[in-house]
Amino acid sequence: MSKYDFEEERVKQEILRLDAKKVLLQLPEGLKNEGIRLAKILEKIGVLPVISADPCYGACDLATDVAESLNLDLIVHYGHSRFLKHEKI
């Protein structure tokens, strides 16, 4: 279990609402190891997940060109924001 809140249920509901079939997962370097876990969650709802291996430098670095070139329906982007489940500071 991750110490971060990736809002998996919210992401699934949005994907279903938008009827997206092919989804790009974009994560910053320190969270790329979560990509496979998130992809498995998406596969369970019938989505083809594509994990971006390119560096990601935050919310201003959306992989729109990649998504368009691969004819993907949606980008799920995890960038700079506060999403720790438990904070000690």
Alpha-carbon gap, residue 76 to 74, rounded angstroms? 7
Rounded alpha-carbon distances, angstroms, from residue 83 to 16, 36, 54, 61, 75: 23, 19, 22, 18, 18
> Which residues of the chain are under the pLDDT cut of 70?
1-2, 58-59, 80-89
8-77 maps to which CATH number?
3.40.50.11840
The domains of the chain are located at 8-77
pTM to 2 decimal places: 0.84
Residue-by-residue DSSP string for 49-85? EEE--S---STT---HHHHHHTT-SEEEE--SS--BS
Alpha-carbon span 21 to 34, nearest angstrom: 20
Q: In this predicted structure, what is the pLDDT of residue 42?
A: 98
pLDDT digits (tens, 9 = 90+) for 5-23: 899 999 999 999 999 999 9
Q: What pLDDT is attached to residue 50? A: 98
Can you list the alpha helix ranges (DSSP code H) found in 5-63? 8-18, 35-43
